[in-house]
Amino acid sequence: MTWINLTATDLLATGHKDLVEAASRKATALGQPDPIPALIQNTIAEINSQIGFRSPGMVDADPTRLAPNLKSAALKKIGRELKGRLQLKLNIDEVSDEKSYQKLLLELREGKAPVDATDNPVAGLAQPAGGTGAALVTHSRRRLTERTLRGI
Instruction: Tell me how far apart the alpha carbons of residues 73 and 16 are, in angstroms, rounded to a whole number.
Output: 14
Average pLDDT per consecutive 10 residues, the chain (152 residues; last block may be shorter): 89 89 91 92 94 83 92 95 92 95 94 88 57 55 74 74
3-state secondary structure of 140: coil
pLDDT for residue 46 = 95
For residues 76 and 16, is the Cβ–Cβ distance under 8 A? no
In 3-state terms the chain splits into helix, strand, coil percentages (rounded to 5) of: 55, 5, 40
pLDDT for residue 129 = 46
What is the pTM assigned to this prediction? 0.77
pLDDT for residue 138 = 62
Among residues 3, 16, 30, the alpha carbon closest in space to that of 118 is found at 3
Instruction: Tell me how far apart the alpha carbons of residues 55 and 58 are, in angstroms, rounded to a whole number.
Output: 6
What are the pLDDT digits (tens) for 91-132?
A: 999 999 999 999 999 999 998 998 998 888 886 554 444 444
One-letter amino acid at 66 equals L
- The CB density around residue 2, as the number of other CB atoms within 10 Å, is 11
3-state secondary structure of 144: coil
pLDDT for residue 139 = 61
